[in-house]
Amino acid sequence: MCIEQYGFFRAAGASLPLRVADPAFNAEAIVDAMREAEERGARLLALPELCVTGYTCADLFHQEVLLRGALDALGTVLAQTRTLSLAAVIGLPLAIENRLFNCAAVIQKGRVLGVVPKTFLPGYGEFYEERWFSPGTALTANTITLNGQDVPIGTKLLFQSDTKKSIVFAVELCEDLWAPAPPSVDLARAGAVLLCNLSASNDLVSKHTYRRDLVRGQSGRLAAGYVYAGAGVGESTTDLVFGGAVLIAENGAILAEGARFSRTRELVIQDIDIDRLVNTRLRLSPFMEGFVREGFRTITFEMSNISRNAKHPNAALCRFVDPHPFVPADPKERDERCEEIFAIQSAGLAGRVERSGSGAAVLGLSGGLDSTLALLVTVKTFDLLGLPREKITALSMPGYGTTSLTRANAAALAKGFKVTFREVDIRAACERHFADLGRSGAQHDTVYENAQARLRTLLLMDTANETGGLVVGTGDLSELALGWCTYNGDHISMYAVNAGVPKTLVKYLVAWAASREADAASREALRSVLETPISPELLPPDAAGNITQKTEEILGPYEVHDFFLYHFFRYGAPPEKLLFLAREAFRGLPSKDAPYTAAQLSRWLDIFVKRFFAAQFKRSCIPDGPKVGAVSLSPRGDWRMPSDAAPAGWGHQKFGLYTSK
């Protein structure tokens, strides 16, 4: 196994210990960095701007001794790395057509594959590059001779893998990124999914924050990987200090960064998800709008020599895979996310209440997570609109599976939040319904379960008519994905406030509200809800009155299904990659009793795919509800899919439609 088969590409950036105007010394530092990167499984290494000579050589750039030394150093690097398989991008000055250019040379296996000159030269503040160099746009040559070979040169060079055509990288240099129209924009639109920036940006107070945001933002705008390698403390400190910033970003997120001001080599390695980036671009319709692919040249670099040995350094993924992609790990960020989601949900419901002219709301309050969140949102909405909470009717409808715990939770929540509370036991009505069907309630089958859900919906709708209110839906995004709702039962409402919230996030939203939005009595009820097993409570409890129908024992953990949903929906990950990512994410991460095994993850993925395809007919007619995050299954918004699509390509041949929980 190697990471490339799952669409990953290992890239590296480094800052080097170097000596200004000593190309021979710097050549050895470059070779050492390349060898270490190779040993750690990297396929590409980006090094700092003008790292062969040092960026701060100033007027020495006009000395033949330095320029000749740079060429000799390049020859040394090529000779000493001809047995290495990784490609590297190194910075050096080159005299071409009676001009001097600040260049990046892409090398592999003792050969120069191509040379990219810097496009934008800073000539302001502390920078004087225009004194020594010419911009890449002034170059007329298409090839130059280096180390005895003809080499392509230009600002529109793309470097493509010989084994996987989607792996394409390109190069820009330092100021190019800071310009209003960076070269990386057109390079990305021409096909580059990975961008290398050879830089010599000095450090000032707060500058790194801006530099970091530039790298992160450019990777996000271009749906690309971005490797930034900055010059370090070996540069001259006559007037400036260089910190050696090394950053690796992907699609708007910083994946890894090195320590600044290090006096030794700082090598940062990260696995870039190429397939994810390609899939993201396919979804971005404006990405290629108005672009004319003219003048770009493609150069092949080798990847066919990648080892398939399980002991090879890139047999294991070196990046962090978040097991809970919907839930920020940082508590501060998580709190901000919860506050924003509540604001979106309540704003959506407020708009619906105002425009309908209803001024009242009805919801089923089971004492479980989803209905609790719906109650919290509804209360917040009515407070926002200045409407009395008494206009909210919380309807508890105990049935065959309702336990005393959830029944008590529902009553306590309604009392704590001062909403109108009604309880209607549905068992007698169900018995009459079963009698009409000529059956007994002893058959605990699909009819037994779904009759309860549909009768509850009937009661909610009629109560809404009676009070002039809206039925607020309680079902969440995860249930929609898995079809874990009864068609024309809890599947239906007048506005579904939780439709965009995955189950893993529902828990945090309720916990957040418990710490901020409730009094002491209500907080106790909310904590009880959080500790209660997730269940539709449609089957009778055990002899001790405990819940027997536990959703996660039937379907598998929601944290795993939410993980599958995120990567399936956002990036179109195929089943083999979903399993690979899940193994990486949940490796060593304990569930309640023990870590998840590969066999368990495989079984749960089977359930996810089967149910996701079978449940599309339910999603095709879901009620309105606010989109709150990047994943939405609304047929009017982000997800359009035929209800009878075949899941064979996802590893399943045939199965029946699921119409029950």
Confidence check: pLDDT of 27 > 50: yes
Q: Is the model more confident about 237 or about 589?
A: 237
Same domain, 140 and 207: yes
Segment 556-582 mean pLDDT = 96
389, 379 Cβ separation under 8 angstroms: yes
Q: Which residues contact 256 (CB under 8 A, 6 or more apart)?
A: 247, 248, 268, 269, 270, 319
Residue 78 in domain = yes
Q: Which domain holds residue 162?
A: 3-315
Continuous H helices in 110-199: 129-132, 175-178, 183-189
Query: Exposed, middle or buried by CB within 10 Å (0-12, 13-18, 19+), for 497?
Result: buried
Give the pLDDT score at 85.
96
Structure tokens at 624: 């309105």
- Summarize the confidence of residues 26-36 as an average pLDDT: 98
- Average pLDDT on 509-517 reads 87
Q: Supply the CATH number for residue 540's domain.
A: 3.40.50.620
Residue 299, classed as helix, strand or coil, is: strand
Count of C-beta atoms within a 10 Å radius of residue 484: 26
Last residue of a domain, one of 282, 315, 348: 315
Strand partners, 423: 396
Percent of the chain's residues with pLDDT above 70:
96
Q: Are residues 310 and 336 located together in one domain of the fold?
A: no
Examine the domain organization and report whether 370 and 289 are in the same domain.
no
Report yes or no on 545 lying in a domain: yes
pLDDT at 653: 46
265 shares a domain with 375: no
pLDDT tens by residue, 162-209: 999 999 999 999 999 999 999 999 999 999 999 999 999 999 999 999
Last residue of a domain, one of 315, 344, 360: 315
Residue type, 150: D
What pLDDT, on the 0 to 100 scale, is given for residue 12? 98
Residues found in the chain:
661
Q: At what angle do helices 503-516 and 331-356 cross, to 10 degrees?
A: 90
Q: Are residues 304 and 348 in the same domain?
A: no
Identify whether residues 265 and 353 lie together within a single domain.
no
Residues 585-638: pLDDT tens digits?
998 765 556 689 999 999 999 999 999 999 999 999 999 999 999 999 999 999
User: Which H/E stretch holds residue 89?
Assistant: strand 87-96
pLDDT digits 0-9 by tens, 107-148: 999 999 999 999 999 999 999 999 999 999 999 999 999 988
Query: Rounded CA gap, 21 and 50, in Å?
Result: 10
Query: How much is the pLDDT for 192?
Result: 98
**The pLDDT value given to residue 307:** 53
Q: Where is average pLDDT lowest: 254-258, 520-524, 574-578?
A: 520-524
Return d(Cα 396, Cα 424) in angstroms, integer.
6
Each residue of 368-390: pLDDT tens digit?
A: 999 999 999 999 999 999 999 99
Q: How high is the pLDDT of residue 253?
A: 96
Give the contacts of 516 (CB within 8 A, at least 6 positions apart).
none
pLDDT band (50, 70, 90) for residue 331: very high
- Token pair 């989601």 is found at 341
Out of 2, 4, 38, 49, pick the active-site residue.
49
Tell me the per-residue pLDDT of 449-494, one tens digit each, with 9 for 90 and over. 999 999 999 999 999 999 999 999 999 999 999 999 999 999 999 9
Of 38, 118, 266, 577, the active-site residue reads 118
Same domain for 21 and 146, yes or no, is yes
Q: For position 283, which CATH number holds?
A: 3.60.110.10
Residue 658, in any domain of the structure: no
CA atoms within a 13 Å half-sphere pointing along the CA-CB vector of 177: 30
Is 325 part of any domain?
Answer: no
Same domain for 466 and 390, yes or no, is: yes
Within 8 A by CB and 6+ apart from 542, the residues are 548
266 shares a domain with 362 = no
Whether 661 maps to a domain, the answer reads: no
DSSP SS3 for 619: helix
| The amino acid at 502 | P
Identify whether residues 295 and 428 lie together within a single domain: no
- 586 with 449, same domain: the answer is yes
Question: What's the CA gap between 574 and 510, in Å, rounded?
Answer: 33
The pLDDT value recorded for residue 591 is 54
Residue 464 near residue 593, CB atoms below 8 Å: no
Annotation marks residue 118 as catalytic: yes
User: Pick the catalytic residue: 2, 174, 338, 430?
Assistant: 174
Q: Please, what's the largest Cα pairwise distance for the chain?
A: 101
Cα–Cα distances in angstroms (integers) from residue 633 to residues 1, 468, 610, 613, 637, in the given order: 34, 29, 16, 12, 7
Could you tell me if 440 and 412 lie in one domain?
A: yes
The pair of structure tokens assigned to 459 is: 């009661």
Find the range with the poorest average confidence among 281-290, 308-317, 527-536: 308-317
**Residue 227 within any structural domain of the chain:** yes
Mean pLDDT of 249-261: 97
In a domain, 324, yes or no: no
Task: Count up the domains in the chain and report the number.
Answer: 2
Share the mean pLDDT of the chain.
94
Quote the tokens at residue 501: 């919230």
Higher pLDDT, 309 or 333: 333
pTM: 0.93
d(CA 339, CA 477): 18
The Cα 454–Cα 570 span in angstroms is 33
In 491-557, which ranges are continuous DSSP H helix? 503-516, 520-531, 551-555
8 has a pLDDT exceeding 70: yes
**Type of residue at 209:** T
655, part of any domain: no
CB distance 45 to 73 below 8 Å? no
Question: One-letter amino acid identity for 157?
Answer: L
- β-partners of residue 159 are 169, 299
DSSP states of 93-124: EEEETTEEEEEEEEEETTEEEEEEE-S----S
Q: What is the pLDDT of residue 657?
A: 37
Q: Residue 661: pLDDT above 50? A: no
